[in-house]
Structure 1
């Protein structure tokens, strides 16, 4: 156990930071009647060699800087040691009706997982595909982004990517011989499934010209590839162009949902970067054969459908249309009126229904209390009964085999509880452990404590706050405290086990996860309360939670660190621009920091649904308010800040954090370091190798610990 005995009061060294410079090319524009000066508009041109050189110089500068922080390498080794405690881990487990198990298996010494299968749970496993052995005539390191076994288990489609990119090419292998049947099926994005006859695959795809487009996410489609054809001969079967009757926009993302081989209907979601979608359905046989497709409407976005299934010609859905904490409803497929649909399950007071699955033994559903306390229930014959979980869980996820089978699986986790997998036993309504990989013990974390509290917000709302710390800490205001939040798309920050984060606690820090508005912890109202014009609640909730931690003497202003990533960059960026005095450090991972201009970047039109458009006067004012870049002012002492970006990131284009970093380096008068941590071979982070991801965490933590005066972390000159 590493305990923090003392911290220096402040970092007082007067260091000259010779940041890489780039010439400013200012642009003045009017947004919703207000003139805005954009000093670093030229950074948006990622085809300009001087811009790319600046990004790479920032990358070099930051790497050299971080390499000089003593204690960083020891921290990385400790994180790596925890990540290696298990000989291997398994995840993305798929079970077929014939009893086959498929899964990704990640050995401790490997950077990326391999694909394995078991003929049955009792059989030994066998390796099907190792991306290290896949060669395409270059030095790229491939990783498996997604996979899908055919319904009969005889073939597997595998989506491979490299360099942190999220788009992939698909190859298909024969399970028995392990031979590649076809490779190079292009433009895969997600939702990979097999056709009912096992003769081809369907998947969500990017447009054929996406790499040349300014917005990778425009004109996405659902494509079908049939075995025996050349890899390039995929057919677009669902898109704006193919289906004008669906009134799709160029930024809409179509998803074809086909969950079981015997599904009579296929459901399409016309969605995007927001919590809800438009839903349609048609006969699956017609869709896959492209014969007389007649898409019929199921629901619109304002019906607030979180999940929808069709079973025995009846709809089952999870909706917030009449209950902000969600209800499970049902209705026949004829004459659908969501205001008159039959409610079969309502949540208990204070709980939010999170998910449901249909099995032959009933409908099972999970609920959350404040996003951090999970429960499981069963609905059958008009009655709801609670199913006791095998452990006290903060997170519970369920999956079925099909509505016609009794099988149900449960995954649990908590802030201090590792991933565990169970199989439901319907005859006595309990669970048996079904671990395919060993579960490591972490005695180093045994004395850690979790407190779930509620904090009063600026407007009187109660914000859930999860506090994790060593049981022996003293409330003396000297504990480095990492404040974390997200707050977008209705996504809840549910408890999960992260040994990297717990290493922060082991080193004497406190973790505080703020369940701010914009997330889904308290249902639809909580989500809507941090969206578009209500977005300021997201960072104001973080500010309230930080003030609470200081008031309760966990920490002080010169010990607080705010962290946000992706859309959570809005929260972190606006927290330090609204209250720069409240935080000692900011960590912002691939963050949305120039929200006003986000619409004109890749993934911009798609995110209009969540954040708004500057073309709409009211939403334009909201975007101005949430734009961290334009809120940076001259002559203000901003906290030490480390900002990351990936040059291959299609979700948050690298110029958004880049412009923020450049302006902050120029205008901050605090003499606190502002580091722009660019990864020229990185993306949004989803497909980064294990050791690369851990190295990034070690860099971020070492920077923060150094800045709050942790004695183990000192900058060498």
Structure 2
């Protein structure tokens, strides 16, 4: 959004008629705007579809700016009058205020890691020569990048000897990045600052330069909304201007998402090319052979593939081709095509969620009913041992160099804070390295996993966390969270968000819906395109289970989800407005007929389908699209929609249009509000202070509209 102007302020009185009086927290009636409507109609396969709030898609207009201001004025006035909001903020802030340290990674002579003392807006990047010593130095402090803490680091990438390092920065939460390269010894900047990078990492080749990906520079004013189409891989030579960077992939093979990475020995450049979020072509180039060109290993988008190791001419590939739960195959550079693959780690009944190498071993991270189980095998595929984990939870970070003798991994669960362990690769011994001290007692809580039946009889797992000894009397404020898409698995993980809810007296439930990756590609596909309704059915059934088992009742059930999970909440509240008393759709995809027209939205068609691809697909999307399925004179749950003005992943117009129509159609007394964050994006890089404010507002809104108060 542009900065507030006097003309935009004057527009408020012209654009909005205040109506729909509802009782405010202070007992005084408050009002929210009725948004103007325009005569906009699209025709899909003979069906006319009205879109009266299309004008809100223009994020550069003064009218939209004025609308945002008017909505925020109403929303914040409501939230600030909640009598216990300060109490909620105090508890949330206390739970955020603990030291958080990531697992260290070795680059050259140093170990690098992030650390946040508690309430710092951005975590600080440190380094040390000895992870066991107290001698450390600040390498980069993102809190010095901006006064308001909204410029964040978005990735660090080192040359193999550790002498050069490139870091990415995001401004205001945008997916667009800048890349800055440093000499790690002097910390001085080397060469040009690269701009307008998007959806990329950095892969160094020696100290000569690095590969990165991006789109063409967006037109002025369109960076946050313009469609992202043809991704390209560039090579940047250190010390040269970005304008001289050469395209190494993407001129002839035009794809929506491409990425490049080097094998550890830097012999092979591997390129992944995709049209959507699932399924990729795979190319490889032998850089040791000057005459070599790209060899296409995979020529379709049906499955996912990644080269995870090379040894001479031998390649190891992690793939779900002919193995929905994933396997690792081996082949050679001379004959890398699938016809020549041999299974090194065959598919098992559990999903192989991740595979990595360290110390000349493979580490296999499986999901067993959405919980981590890690195996160590040698590079010939022979079993070595199971890695012993502390409890039920999620483990990550089993990667390193071939000569590493130790690695550092992270383990966490719902009530087990993110803890770093040191793992001795040869002996298999794990030892505690860094454990945070959070201001709550985990022994007061218990976590259980249940399996409930969805509408079509499918068994779906769900984690439920609550106080030990809690009586199930249908009277507990309960928060149900879900996602269900893009092959993403929700696993037990520690979050101050969930702990804050528990400490305020709530029950937390997380459902592992179809569309995710918890049970492999078949589970994922069962929640995509013409089967997307399964996801909503799974979530509705999760809510019904909580009601039937007397954890809560409808008036004390809140449903929440973000991005694709925001779509989930929007579809659930339109299909079953009676299910929950409160709905929190966050940065949601709400217009399923036009989502593909903005930024990277077209890539989501592999999960959603597109309204313009067939009449059948149009009707399917139209029948569940949250924006289009709001009904007049309907009593919807108390709703707090959240979005951000710099969200260039799911553009805020989705939430704007949904909020406008919800306010128009809602017939109940419950508030239906939208909270629009400024200088923030889809979520990554959000300053701690803004996270605390957002969470305080959400939980205050939920509890107030459940007629509850936070526990002391």
Secondary structure (helix, strand or coil) at the match of 1:400 reads coil
Aligned counterparts, 1:214-229, within 5 A: 214-215=225-226, 217-229=228-240
- Conserved 8 A contact 1:473-1:508: no
Higher mean alpha-carbon deviation, 702-711 vs 200-209, is at 200-209
Alignment of 1:179-190 (within 5 A): 179-182=188-191, 184-190=193-199
Unaligned runs of 5+ in 2: 1-22
2: CA distance, partners of 1:426 / 1:684: 38
Which residue of structure 2 lines up, in the alignment, with residue 160 of structure 1? 169
Asked if the contact 1:485/1:515 (under 8 Å) is kept, the reply is yes
Alignment partner, residue 6 of structure 1: none
Q: CA deviation at 1:147?
A: 1.8
Show the counterpart of 1:395.
394
Structure 1 range deviating more: 479-488 or 299-308: 299-308
Matching residue of 1:129: 140
1:309 and 1:446 map into 2 onto residues whose CA distance is 39
Residue 624 of structure 1 corresponds to which residue in structure 2? 622
Q: Which residue of 2 aligns with 1:459?
A: 456
Query: Could you tell me which residue of structure 2 aligns to residue 69 of structure 1?
Result: 82
1:43 corresponds to which of 56, 61, 77: 56
Matched, 1:423 2:422: yes
Q: 1:223-257 CA deviation, whole Å, 9 max, x = no partner?
A: 33223224x4351424532xx1x3x24xx111001
Is the Cα contact below 8 Å between 2:60 and 2:221 reproduced in 1? Answer: no
Aligned Cα root-mean-square deviation (Å): 2.6
Post-superposition offset of 1:180: 2.8
Contact between 1:146 and 1:190, CA under 8 Å: does it hold in 2?
no
Deviation at 1:169, TM superposition (A): 1.7
Most deviating of 509-518 and 499-508 = 499-508
Query: How far 1:518 moved relative to its partner?
Result: 0.6
Question: What is aligned with 1:328?
Answer: 328
After superposition, the Cα gap between the structure-2 partners of 1:195 and 1:364, relative to the gap in structure 1 and judged at 3 Å, is closer
Which residue in the other structure is 1:305 paired with? 304
User: Normalised by the size of structure 1, how large is the TM-score?
Assistant: 0.90
Secondary structure, in 3 states, of the residue corresponding to 1:195?
strand
Question: 1:99, CA displacement in angstroms?
Answer: 4.3
Aligned to 1:95: 106
Q: How does 1:410-559 map to 2 (within 5 A)?
A: 410-435=409-434, 438-559=435-556
1:61–1:367 CA distance, 2 compared to 1 (3 A): same
Asked whether the 8 Å contact 2:121–2:689 carries over to 1, the reply is yes
Whether 2:301 is the aligned partner of 1:278: answer no
**Per-residue deviation, 1:104:** 2.3
Cα 1:11/1:542, change in 2 over 3 Å: farther
* 1:234/1:611 CA distance change after superposition, 3 Å: farther
Aligned to 2:207: 198
- Structure 2 residue 256 is the aligned partner of structure 1 residue 256: no
Following superposition, the deviation at residue 337 of structure 1 comes to 4.7
The verdict on how the C-alpha distance between 1:13 and 1:536 changes in structure 2, with shifts beyond 3 A counting, is farther
- Is the Cα–Cα contact under 8 Å of residues 317 and 328 in structure 1 kept in the other structure? yes
1:265-414 to 2 correspondence within 5 Å? 265-271=268-274, 273-284=276-287, 294-312=293-311, 313-338=313-338, 341-349=341-349, 351-379=350-378, 381-403=380-402, 405=404, 407-414=406-413
CA positional deviation for 1:687:
1.4
Partner of 2:3: none
SS of the equivalent of 1:685 reads coil
Give how far 1:188 is off: 2.5
Residues 680 and 551 from structure 1, CA distance in 2 versus in 1: closer, same or farther, beyond 3 angstroms? same
Q: Secondary structure at the match of 2:34?
A: coil
1:25 to 38, 43, 56: 38
C-alpha deviation, 1:195, in angstroms:
3.0
The match for 1:574 is 571
Residue in 2 that maps onto 1:686: 684
Q: Is the 8 A contact 1:265 1:310 kept in 2?
A: no
Q: CA-to-partner distance for each residue in 1:147-169, whole Å, 9 max, x for gaps?
A: 22332222322222222222222
Corresponding position: 1:107 with 2:120: no
Q: Deviations over 1:186-242 (max 9, x none)?
A: 112354435333133322223223655452522332233223224x4351424532x
Asked whether the equivalents of residues 102 and 149 of structure 1 are also in contact (C-alpha less than 8 Å), the reply is no
The structure-2 alpha-carbon separation of the partners of 1:111 and 1:139, relative to structure 1 and needing over 3 Å to count, comes to: closer
Q: 1:174 aligns with which of 183, 187, 205?
A: 183
Q: Does the aligned pair in 1 maintain the 2:515–2:535 contact within 8 Å?
A: yes
Aligned partners of 1:397, 1:320: CA distance in 2, in Å?
20
C-alpha change, 1:211 and 1:417, in structure 2 (3 Å) is: farther
Q: Structure 2 vs 1, CA of residues 46 and 92 (structure 1 numbering), >3 Å: closer, same or farther?
A: farther
Is contact 2:227-2:601 (8 Å) kept?
no
Q: Deviations over 1:68-106 (max 9, x none)?
A: 1122222122121122122xx23374322x442122222
CA drift of 1:304 comes to: 1.9
d(CA) in 1 for partners of 2:476, 2:245: 58
The residue that corresponds to 1:237 in the other structure is: 247
CA deviation map 1:618-665 (0-9, x unaligned): 332332233100000011111011111111111111111110000000
The superposition leaves residues 300-326 of structure 1 with CA deviations (integer Å, 9 ceiling, x where unpaired) of 455522533341222322322323222
The aligned counterpart of 2:656 is 658
Shift of 1:14: 8.6
> Is the 1:90–1:105 contact (alpha carbons within 8 Å) kept by the matching residues of 2?
yes
Write the distance in 1 (CA, Å) between the matches of 2:305 and 2:588.
26
CA distance in 2, matches of 1:272, 1:188: 18
Work out the CA distance in 1 between the residues paired with 2:570 and 2:482: 12
Distance change in 2, residues 1:569/1:57 (3 Å): same
Separation of aligned partners in 1, 2:324 and 2:161: 41
1:188–1:205 contact (8 Å) kept in structure 2: yes
Q: Deviations over 1:485-533 (max 9, x none)?
A: 0011100001110122112112221111011011001111110011111
Q: Does structure 2 retain, via aligned residues, the 8 Å contact 1:327–1:343?
A: yes
Q: Secondary structure at the match of 2:640?
A: strand
> In 1, Cα distance between the equivalents of 2:428 and 2:142?
40
The 3 A distance-change label for structure 1 pair 606 and 189 is: same
- Structure 2 Cα separation of the partners of residues 471 and 444 of structure 1: 11
1:672 corresponding residue in structure 2? 670
Partner Cα separation in structure 2 for residue 398 and residue 455 of structure 1: 32
d(CA) in 1 for partners of 2:126, 2:359: 29
Q: Are the counterparts in 2 of residues 101 and 120 from structure 1 also a CA contact under 8 Å? A: yes
CA change 1:13–1:116 in 2 (3 A) is closer
Q: Which runs of 5+ in 1 are unaligned?
A: 1-9
